[in-house]
Amino acid sequence: MIEETIFSKIIKHETSADVLYQDELVTAFRDIFPKAPVHILIVPNILISTVNEVKYEHEQILGRMFTVAAKIAIEENIKDDGYRLVVNCNKNAGQEIYHIHMHLLGGTLLGPML
């Protein structure tokens, strides 16, 4: 099991990132390779490698990820036009960093999912 990721370093402020939000459960920061005008990653502050490792005790963290997404959508002025939330799980879904994270994408017409 991986114990440290680039996200872990961002959470602990050991590497730089444009952090928009942080509390005891989650951290949100701008993606360094944005796929939309607004592309923000929301990550749990504890390492959960994939959705497959999510447990009952993680429900509060996962819920906070959604409430933070809604808060940031307002702050980024994309709430009314719409935005997409994406969580990838494992290689075939496109997960590149094995620390679960939610992509908040918006600021343009995103088109169909696939």
> Would you please indicate which residues are annotated as catalytic (active-site) residues?
101
Q: Return contacts of 17-26, CB within 8 angstroms, 24+ apart.
A: 20/72, 20/75, 21/68, 21/71, 21/72, 23/64, 25/60, 25/61, 25/64, 26/61, 26/64, 26/65, 26/68
Contact 72, 85 (CB under 8 A): no
